Chains A and B, each alone.
Chain A
Amino acid sequence: AQSVTQLGSHVSVSEGALVLLRCNYSSSVPPYLFWYVQYPNQGLQLLLKYTSAATLVKGINGFEAEFKKSETSFHLTKPSAHMSDAAEYFCAVSADQAGTALIFGKGTTLSVSS
């Protein structure tokens, strides 16, 4: 069975600082992994996805994530935080690309201070 653990329900950074949001997964098959962002009163927006093509995945808004099989991790990073990055971030895993429903982590709230 697949599962996702996001370490840290709340992360605070200063504007311009590195953003690191942690995600560890458990999967019985090679996983497909996703990061989504949710702004207040909105749905989820896809940031990036890993589907085994490359271990370092670049997404929108300057975010990227690295798939590390040995650590079962898929951490999200951004070199320099912006105030507009403040939001809720969700990591998700899918067993395959055929459309099996996504399993989500509990989310990490990112706060950015000036």
Chain B
Amino acid sequence: EADIYQTPRYLVIGTGKKITLECSQTMGHDKMYWYQQDPGMELHLIHYSYGVNSTEKGDLSSESTVSRIRTEHFPLTLESARPSHTSQYLCASSAAGRGEQYFGPGTRLTVT
């Protein structure tokens, strides 16, 4: 059983607010990822990290930013939330040399 946690699980927030979505894993995985998922659509990679102090943008353009100061922690920040940011955000991690990724439960974000 993978141990990867996301908080909050649900968030409703007004336009213009700054928010941080938390993601932590206890498996010691080097690689971590953030995906965005809309209903009926595939997951889209928005950020990834291959280790501490390493972050890259994914295939889907996103106004969010990420940081990786500790191996186990990979938070995602939106400086000014907009209704277009309404979506589900999934965090995942994988071990070096292993292709499978383990997912957290997700954060469902609604921006009003």
Q: Which residues of A contact B (CB under 8 A)?
A: 4, 9, 32, 34, 36, 41-46, 49, 51, 90, 94, 96-102, 104-107
Q: How many contacts A-B (CB < 8 Å)?
A: 68
A97, B58: Cα distance in complex, Å? 18
Binds A, one of B14-22, B36-44, B62-70, B77-85: B36-44
Assess the A99–B42 pair: CB atoms within 8 A: no
Nearest neighbor of A32 in chain B, beta-carbon distance: B99
A49, B100: Cα distance in complex, Å? 8
Pairs across A and B, CB under 8 Å, 9 listed: A4-B42, A42-B106, A43-B92, A97-B97, A97-B98, A97-B99, A99-B99, A102-B99, A107-B40
A105, B100: Cα distance in complex, Å? 15
| Size range of the chain B interface in the assembly | 20 to 34
Q: B41 — which chain A residues lie within 8 A by C-beta?
A: 106-107
Q: A42 — which chain B residues lie within 8 A by C-beta?
A: 105-106
Assess the B42–A90 pair: CB atoms within 8 A: yes
Assess the B97–A98 pair: CB atoms within 8 A: yes
A114, B104: Cα distance in complex, Å? 31
Assess the B40–A106 pair: CB atoms within 8 A: yes
Chain B facing A: main interface SS: loop
A98, B31: Cα distance in complex, Å? 10
Q: B26 — which chain A residues lie within 8 A by C-beta?
A: none
Return the 9 tightest CB-CB contacts between A and B, nearest first: A43-B103, A44-B103, A104-B42, A97-B99, A94-B99, A104-B43, A32-B99, A99-B31, A106-B42
Q: A49 — which chain B residues lie within 8 A by C-beta?
A: 99-100
A49, B99: Cα distance in complex, Å? 9
Contact partner of B48 among A36, A96, A101, A107, CB < 8 A?
A101
Given contacts A42-B106, A104-B42, contact A99 B98 (CB under 8 A): yes
Q: B94 — which chain A residues lie within 8 A by C-beta?
A: 99
Q: B106 — which chain A residues lie within 8 A by C-beta?
A: 41-43
